[in-house]
Structure 1
Amino acid sequence: MEYQITHIRVSDNYVSSTDKITDVKLSSNLEYSVADIIRFINNDSRFFYTCAYSQADKVYIEAVCSTNGILYLHTEANPISNDNLLSLPRF
């Protein structure tokens, strides 16, 4: 099943990387921690995405591990700049 991420919550107002995202809100208004989303992606094969311009422009979310072992979310590599999770509204 696919779920659209529409909003993010960050740990501080001056965030510049997706590893500072703490929670997300889905189009259904359900809220999840990043840890929950990573678990869903890695264990349950659920798919999460955001949209660049329209519902047709889905960009999928990946769970990645930083060099220091921190798990976080980011969008798949693509040429679209405004699909970034950090461009989503805050809640």
Structure 2
Amino acid sequence: MSLGEGIYTEGGERVGTIRGFDASGFYVTLKAGVDAPTTEEHSTVGEVGEINLMWRCWQCGETGRIDEMPDHCPSCGSPAEELYYWTED
């Protein structure tokens, strides 16, 4: 895998592009029209092990709780292309 490489579903539909790597894996920029994860899909009920869907800035590391992705990082001003979905517990 490399930066800029396309990511596809099992059916061959392109869903995004690899935009970065770290020790946890790789990050994908979604193409227009692809549904992003929802809070309901990535959260648990209860206190122990509760998971929250967040956004995180690739440039400065700022995170925030989301109902939807912001159009830029409120901390450093980076554009939406520098933000990705993140889960925290």
Q: TM-score, normalised by structure 1?
A: 0.33
Q: Which structure's relative contact order is higher, taking Cα pairs within 8 Å and 6+ residues apart?
A: 1
Of Structure 1 and Structure 2, the greater helix share is in 1
- Structure with higher Rg: it is 2
